[in-house]
Structure 1
Amino acid sequence: MKDSIAAVAVFAARAAGHAPGSVSGRASLAGSDPLRDQADAYLDGLAEVARMEARLAGLKVHFAAGYADAAETLAAPARSPQEHTMHEMSLIAEVAGVLTVSERSAAALLSDARTLATALPLTLGALQEGMLSWQHARVMCDETSALEPPAAAALEAHFLDPDAPRAARGCPAGELVPARFRAKARSWRERHHPVSIEARHRRSAADRRLEYAPDRDGMAWLSSYMPADTASGIWARATEAARALQGPDEPRTLTQLRADVAADWLLRGVAEGTPSPTAQVLVTVPVLSLLGTGSEPSMLDGYGPIPASMARRIVGEGATSFLRVLTDPRSGAPLEIGRTSYRIPKAMRQWLRLRDGRCPFPGCSNPSLDNEADHLLAWDDGGSTGITNLGQPCPKHHRLKHATPWNPVDATRDKPPGWTSPSGRCYPSEEQDWEPPDLAPLGGEPPEWAPQEWVLPVREPLDWELEDLLEDVDSLDRPLPVDPFPEWASFAAA
């Protein structure tokens, strides 16, 4: 902590123009431009204060968990559940009084502190070192709460131990905004939950409903709880129809049009003049799950893991609003995209949606359906129309890229672009967390945290079954057209 205080003092002095130089570890021209150095000093100071806040949160966890242990040791053994509850209430009230917070907040702090101190050592260590914020630590506590200890340890190691088997790729957990970290942790949790996603989906689907809630200013909320494939299909159709209505004479925003289109559909059927929507939602399906010899979850674009049975139904019914993507049973990476169109630009856009998942700008969660394909290096500057020179930022960050010095960099076929800010800071890309199936070899045992449904099936699929599955008589038997765009041939053949 002394080092952090000293660093903040240096940054404050630089910001005041009293101490030239940079200690941030960034390449910089400190001192050559006093205003630039002052701006950098403010940013460096903000970053160091954020690390200090994380370290202070780690200290708070240490003292809260320590007090809980000490108070339980001091208290007389509880002779009944009621007496134990009174002891716990007294402990919570004491912490609430010391911190001047509500008892509910104190109870949440004590619960998280106990979890971090006893079950999540990597998370607590990263918090104490300033590598994770308190919000990230709380996400880890939430997402491991329903897991058995081995599964909780595996989730923690996946994101925080670079030497763990199949460690998370791309942007480190502490550099993701907490909401994006929660989404990635939730996806991992869904794949490794001790109760299969099939069983949990069946239970939750029985609770589907439509809800109405009045709000202020003559407005109200209408929300529906339904299966993810249904909700994603509705959202995609409404978005596509709303986009088609946009034009120079249309004053409504995309968000407003989406709401108006949905209201017209529900009240009057398809609205007059509303174009027929053709949007497609990507569904990533493990090959073994599609064969019925595996039960690993599939991934629904813009949502996350869905049951294998839902994915098989989507593929089996041939729904035109969904685009099937098969994943390799060896690596979990995309294997091929089902195609009904042979226009290469459309196939490229579909791959971009699969590669990026959402707007690739740091912290942005705008789903891929709302985003716009864009050259990273402009065509006029010599950029090619290859997959490694394309991104799909949302409209807001698309405008930011062209109007400010924010620049996307370093995209590959499988990795979205990172970004460089006007101050020269680099923000790595958030890569998709593809995983191969965690199946044991024949006669072996599955991972100790795996659901029972993941035990290897009686037999492995035969070679001809895999080959037959990957053939689509209507599209894949015919060769793709000659590619007029650089890099597409190697991309399609990889």
Structure 2
Amino acid sequence: MGIGGGVGVVLASIDASVAALDSLNREDSFLAAGAHGGAGVDIGAGTDVLQRRYGIRLERLELMARLEAQLAAVKAATAAEAVEFQQAMTPPDASVQDRTYADMSVVEEIAGVLTISSAAAGALVKQSRRICSLPPVMNALSAGAMSWQHARIVADETEGLTPEGAASLVAHFFDPAAPQPARGAAPGELVPSRFRAKVRGWRERHHPESIEKRHAKGVADRRMEYTPDKDGMAWISLYLPGDTACAIWNRTTATARGLQGPDEPRPLTQLRPDIAASLLLGVGMKPAAGETAAHAEEDGPGPGVQGTQGVTGIGKVPAPRADVLVMVPVFSLLGVTDEPAVLDGFGPIPASMARKLVADGAESFYRVLVDPRDGAPLEIGRKNYRLTETIKRWIRMRDAKCTFRGCANRTPDNETDHLTAWQHGGTTNVSNLAQLCPKHHRLKHHSQWTPDPATKNEPPGWTSPTGRHYNAEYQDPEPTHWPPGILSAQRSPLEQVVLQRLAT
């Protein structure tokens, strides 16, 4: 791999980071003692001093994060080198069994040195070797531009790809000179969960095996798992098709929101499992009109619990539906291509699943047709024509989540907010609107966190009270695929064809 020399470069960078930390500590000590004969600083008159000492703490955290990444790079390179040396010591004519045990031995050695389990050491070795085989990823980690968590995500998401596929994925996110590089925040500027979502979205679209085939395999593997835990608790997990899981989550969340009020002491985190347990165990279920209890018990409600007219044991209110957007490339909806659609709050789904959701008339799923030329929405399905609802759904489609940096709160909890307040001249259009969760909505109005302007296709970035700028975190959609033989299309005729097809 040729990584030995790279370790020396990283160690030099670590020395520079440590020196910068030492410089900050000396400055902080000087400010704490005062500039005149060691006298203390008067708090009332020392606002600037306090501000600078606050800034030093933030700079320390930045340097520490960089150091952690750089140390992780050295650790990964060293683990990969240890395996290389072990393999070099193995005789060329050694049997497969001898080589297998040699590899096992080095993993056990690493586990003992780091005081971790054999499984954890094996995962570290596997991830380290993959990261070292992807120079742009290793370089970003060595420079402290992203964390070990980010590097590990790339290692996980490139598993199963061909070398060419892995190189294309890495180039998209780490090479600004790539044909279609990722836009917006750099990998290290995204919280790991958001970075994984972007990487996985790109991987799903470019995987050599179609998402339809992989989804069919996943459906065959669906299951429920039960895991006992401490303190008399346990976990129940469901591995389901994405549309079903998304509908369950949003239905449970919407029901929990409807139950919250002055007389409900349980927070949202407690209400969700209570509601799910009540529904699964049949507590308070009331059969639909004209349906006997025996018949309801025999057939059961459908995936969306559509047969249930009310829930009496969990709050005595009807469970509201949760609206979910389905972004469908127009040719995919027509069946001309099998390009993945995007399910709001989940990610890429097979085209067949999107077509089924639209064809079945699922009431809580709103289709959004995507123009194949620029990815802009052609038409947003709706049950009414109020402009406010259309704009809200547009913002939901564009933002996908709360736009505040690092927040992963999805659409059921979010509010559409004016970036520039109405009373300050702000207008009600997509370039001045963005999703914010309740917490960050309040923070925006009670602090100096400032959003950038938005655009038709891009949510806002943010600037912190200390002047640090954070680029927008958005989905970075690609132009949709054109079927063979179609070179161009005019918007109006295309819309007419689509709408005529949908009406039949």
Q: TM-score w.r.t. structure 2 length?
A: 0.82
Query: Any conservation in 2 of the 1:294–1:457 contact (CA below 8 Å)?
Result: no
Aligned twin of 1:442: none
Aligned twin of 2:105: 90
Aligned twin of 2:498: 470
Letter in 2 for 1:364: C
1:139 and 2:153 are equivalent in the alignment: yes
CA distance in 1, matches of 2:251, 2:477: 27
Letter in 1 for 2:495: E
- Name which of 226, 242, 246 aligns with 1:228: 242
Q: Offset at 1:163? A: 1.7
- Name which of 18, 23, 31 aligns with 1:5: 18
| Larger displacement relative to structure 2 (379-388 or 39-48) | 379-388
Deviations 1:185-239 (A, max 9, x none): 1111111122211111111112223344444445443332211111212222222
Q: Which runs of 5+ in 1 are unaligned?
A: 21-30, 440-455, 476-494
Query: Any conservation in 2 of the 1:285–1:324 contact (CA below 8 Å)?
Result: yes
- Name which of 332, 355, 376 aligns with 1:289: 332
Query: Any conservation in 1 of the 2:31–2:49 contact (CA below 8 Å)?
Result: no
Deviations 1:84-117 (A, max 9, x none): 1111012223333444433333322222222122
| Count of residue pairs the alignment pairs up | 448
1:379 and 2:422 are equivalent in the alignment: yes
Query: Any conservation in 2 of the 1:353–1:369 contact (CA below 8 Å)?
Result: no
Q: Offset at 1:461? A: 9.5
Letter in 2 for 1:304: G
1:117 and 2:132 are equivalent in the alignment: yes
Aligned twin of 2:388: 345
Letter in 2 for 1:180: R
Structure 1 pair 331–263 and aligned structure 2 pair: CA distance change class (3 A): same
Structure 1 pair 189–78 and aligned structure 2 pair: CA distance change class (3 A): farther
Deviations 1:288-328 (A, max 9, x none): 21121211111111111111110111111221110001112
Query: Any conservation in 2 of the 1:169–1:433 contact (CA below 8 Å)?
Result: yes
Structure 1 pair 245–109 and aligned structure 2 pair: CA distance change class (3 A): closer
- Sequence identity of aligned pairs in percent? 52
Q: Offset at 1:271? A: 0.8
| Larger displacement relative to structure 2 (392-401 or 249-258) | 249-258
1:252 and 2:266 are equivalent in the alignment: yes
Query: Any conservation in 1 of the 2:334–2:498 contact (CA below 8 Å)?
Result: no
Aligned twin of 2:467: 424
Query: Any conservation in 2 of the 1:209–1:226 contact (CA below 8 Å)?
Result: yes
Query: Any conservation in 2 of the 1:420–1:426 contact (CA below 8 Å)?
Result: yes
Structure 1 pair 460–229 and aligned structure 2 pair: CA distance change class (3 A): farther
Structure 1 pair 471–426 and aligned structure 2 pair: CA distance change class (3 A): same
> Over aligned residue pairs, what C-alpha RMSD do you find?
2.6
| Larger displacement relative to structure 2 (227-236 or 351-360) | 227-236
Greater relative contact order, per chain length (Cα 8 Å cut-off, separation 6+): 1
Query: Any conservation in 2 of the 1:298–1:307 contact (CA below 8 Å)?
Result: yes
Query: Any conservation in 2 of the 1:240–1:278 contact (CA below 8 Å)?
Result: yes
Q: Which runs of 5+ in 2 are unaligned?
A: 1-12, 35-45, 286-309
Deviations 1:346-390 (A, max 9, x none): 111111111111111221111112212222233333333222222
Structure 1 pair 263–59 and aligned structure 2 pair: CA distance change class (3 A): closer
Aligned twin of 1:490: none
| Larger displacement relative to structure 2 (143-152 or 106-115) | 106-115
1:240 and 2:280 are equivalent in the alignment: no
- Runs of 4 or more consecutive aligned structure 1 residues displaced over 6 Å after TM superposition: 458-465, 472-475
Matching of residues 50-129 of structure 1 within 5 Å: 50-77=65-92, 79-118=94-133, 120-129=134-143
Q: Offset at 1:474? A: 9.9
Q: 3-state SS of the aligned residue for 2:250? A: helix
- Name which of 380, 390, 399 aligns with 1:356: 399
Q: Offset at 1:472? A: 6.3
Letter in 2 for 1:111: K
Aligned twin of 1:200: 214
Q: TM-score w.r.t. structure 1 length?
A: 0.83
- Name which of 28, 48, 53 aligns with 1:15: 28
CA distance in 1, matches of 2:240, 2:462: 36
Matching of residues 438-449 of structure 1 within 5 Å: none
- Determine which structure has more spread, i.e. the larger CA radius of gyration: 2
- Name which of 170, 176, 191 aligns with 1:162: 176
1:271 and 2:299 are equivalent in the alignment: no
